Chain A
Amino acid sequence: MEAETKVKGRISDSALVRAATSWYDRHSPVEKAKHWLWIFIRTVLIVGICFIILYPIITKLSIALRDKQDMFDATVVWLPRHFTLDNIKIVMGYLKYSESVTNTLLLSLGTSLLQLASCALAGYGFARLKFRGSAILFGVVIFTIVVPPQTIMVPTYLHYRFFDVFGLYHLFTGKDGVNLLESFWPFFISSGLAMGLKNGLYIYIFRQFFRSLPKDLEEAAYVDGAGIPGTFARVMLPNAVPAIATVMLFSFIWQWNDSYFVNLFAPNYTLLARMLDLLPGAVRPEYVGGISHTSLYLNTGTLLGILPIFILYLFAQRYFVESIERTGLVG
């Protein structure tokens, strides 16, 4: 500053201050430093969070691809020295991979389509077709989210073990109820009746979304002579793509990952979640020749368990994130 005053000796103090202020305003070093510091901190934080999430997956990938002898080699950290696909092949055998993936895919696809239909109907009914007591019933929907599945577990189990709606079956055939366990029917029935996994949440999502659509859309359809079902199917549903995508993805993924209901209703079915549950028992050290083998197989198993969903997510993630942001999840 002093040097500046010497050179520009004729400039008065106030002019100097003014120049300094204007330079400061234009370049604002403190603001800029704050800005860059924030960007730096933010980047570190985000990279850190991403790292914590990706770390176990990368570790498992690295372990799954290595040979047994690399497990005791301290120089092998990330890249296996003896690259092999044997682990994957062996664990695929333990998991009966192709069969369990196909079964799980069928189950998840079936339930998510049924849930989509029943929850969209209920959501639209609650959002736009108000009737006496519909507000109370919607409160009940929220209530169903809160009830833990364990509370109704035993009666539900017995219900499907001796399946008989209102005793009708007994009335007509004289026999006791049908055993629906060990089939997909319990899943399909509860999904079709909007009582599957977290279905209260899906009804809520649909209701919020349909409420946010403009009323004129419906009015126009009614004026054009479309009935209520027609309006719903041809006007409202095509506009509800974000909500449909959200519910579809959530229901597919949660059904895919569910092991609770699978163990309850179909404990001997070859489904991926159940086979993964069984894996630690199948690869105990004394069966497979050492702790290192067990570790290899378990890591590979986890990787294989999440692989199909991971691939799905790679393709769907953009849509997934965007659609949830646009859905009326916000209340």
Chain B
Amino acid sequence: MSKRRTLSLERKKEIYGVLFVTPWLLGFVLLMVIPFVQSLQFSFHKLTLNSEGYSLQYVGLENYRNIFFVDAWYVRSLTEAVTVMALNVPLIIFFSLFTATLLVQKFKGRMLARAIIFLPVVLASGVIAKLDNGNFLAQMIGSASTDMEGNYSGLRSIELRPLLFQAGLSRDIVEYLTSAVDRIYQIISSSGVQILIFLAGLQSISPSLYEAAKMEGATGYEAFWKITFPMISPLILTNVVYTIIDSFYDNKMTQMIQDAAFGRLDFGVSSAMSWIYFLVISIILVVSTYLISKRVFYYD
């Protein structure tokens, strides 16, 4: 009797499982699989809109040839997007881990500090950045009169550069570090979610581990590298993946894809562009996931 009941509950659970997932599954098929296949199809066609829908005309690899050999900007924008990502990801990861270790400690005004540091997550720096980009005239005015707009807080690397050169660092490293200082606002404002993830991870590490290490005479520095770092290394992977996806969400490249489709009504070329873009992102994600996951330590 009881056996049959549990069996039927299991069965019921399976049926309800399918039911619960159905809305998503429907959405996935209608709004992801079909468009995904169509997009690939469009990239080999010339698409013309007409009153009762659209018609397709097969052009083979013409669209791809177009973006690689005719379009002067595509490859350049793509390289730029990838370069910006490659430069920003390590900085964002480092900064968010650092900030999270600061915020996890107990001090006065901790709630206030957290509230302020997560502000960029909700305020979508996008809106601010976009208007400030179109605001370059205002920046000129600002620097001419009060030096307040545009360059945030005079946080510029003018002093830092000679200092680092004197310290004997190579040119590339100096350029990287100084440009990081110049982009500090961008980096801070795009690391909110990453800080949250790290913070949650840091708080889930059992304090007894630290106590034991302290008893054994470990310094704070050692405790960080021997306990904290391995424990949150899976989150570094999560955050790298998140940061990469986030950085590809809105940039010059996406602007270009959108312009091709709705500016020039060149839907085929736009689809081809987006497919190349998707493949590049996928390769970067797979490679970086593979490289990091080899070093990740899993607790359980």
State the A residues within 8 Å of B (CB): 39, 42-43, 45-46, 49-57, 59, 62-63, 71-74, 76-77, 118-119, 121-122, 124-126, 128-132, 134, 137, 140-141, 144-159, 162, 165, 176-177, 189-190, 192-195, 203, 222, 228-229, 232, 249, 253-254, 256-257, 259-260, 264, 273, 276-277, 279-280, 285, 291-292, 294-295, 298-299, 301-302, 305-306, 309-310, 312-313, 317-318, 320-321, 324-325, 327, 329-331
Contact = CB atoms under 8 A, between A and B. Distances in A.
Say what secondary structure dominates the interface of chain A.
Answer: helix
Given A55-B152, A280-B134, A153 B53 contact: no
A259 B117 contact: no
A148 B249 contact: yes
B16 A313 contact: no
19 contacts: A56-B128, A125-B17, A128-B17, A148-B274, A153-B257, A153-B258, A154-B271, A155-B36, A155-B38, A193-B27, A195-B28, A253-B124, A276-B131, A291-B137, A305-B131, A317-B118, A318-B111, A325-B200, A331-B235
A42 B35 CA distance: 50
B: contact size bracket: 35 or more
Interface in B207-236: 234-235
Contact of A121 (B23, B128, B275): B23
Interface string B191-212: 0000011011101100000000
B24 A203 contact: yes
Contact of A294 (B126, B138, B153): B138
Interface string B159-198: 0000000000000000000000000110011000000110
A298 B131 contact: yes
Interface in B26-60: 26-28, 30-32, 34-36, 38-39, 42, 47, 52-54
A71 B141 contact: yes
B277 A151 contact: yes
A59 B16 CA distance: 54
Given A148-B248, A150-B254, A295 B149 contact: yes
Give the one of B20, B132, B197 with max A CB within 10 A. B20
B102 A42 contact: yes
A53 B116 contact: yes
B254 A325 contact: no
Give the one of B15, B47, B250 with max A CB within 10 A. B250
A152 B35 contact: yes
A323 B27 CA distance: 28
Contacts of B155: 52
Contacts of A331: 234-235, 238
A201 to B, nearest CB: 9
Contacts of B238: 331
Contacts of B116: 50, 53-54
B200 A324 contact: yes
Contacts of A124: 20
B281 interface: yes
Contacts of B83: none
A134 B275 CA distance: 28
A301 B131 contact: yes
Interface stretch (B6-14, B69-77, B85-93): B6-14
Nearest to B241: A146
Nearest to A297: B138
Interface in B261-279: 261-262, 267, 270-271, 274-275, 277-278
A53 B12 CA distance: 52
Interface of B: 9, 12-21, 23-28, 30-32, 34-36, 38-39, 42, 47, 52-54, 99, 102-103, 105, 107, 111, 113-124, 126-128, 130-132, 134-135, 137-138, 140-142, 145-146, 148-149, 152-153, 155, 184-185, 188-189, 196-197, 199-201, 203-204, 234-235, 238, 245, 248-250, 254, 257-258, 261-262, 267, 270-271, 274-275, 277-278, 281-282, 285
Contacts of B149: 59, 63, 295, 299
Nearest to B103: A46
B127 A306 contact: yes
B203 A325 contact: yes
A59 B282 contact: no
B188 to A, nearest CB: 6
Given A154-B47, A298-B134, A325-B199, 12 more contacts: A62-B148, A71-B141, A134-B21, A140-B28, A148-B249, A149-B249, A153-B257, A154-B42, A177-B53, A194-B23, A299-B149, A331-B234
A306 B111 contact: no
Given A148-B278, A310-B123, A317 B200 contact: no
A122 B36 contact: no
A156 B271 CA distance: 12
Given A156-B35, A330-B200, A299 B123 contact: no
A195 B184 CA distance: 33
Given A42-B107, A137-B21, A306-B127, A147 B261 contact: no
B114 A321 contact: yes
Given A53-B116, A131-B14, A137-B25, A152 B42 contact: no
B34 A42 contact: no
Given A129-B13, A145-B245, A194-B23, A295 B137 contact: yes
A127 B274 CA distance: 33
Contacts of A193: 23-24, 26-28, 30-31
A23 B161 CA distance: 46
Nearest to A232: B20
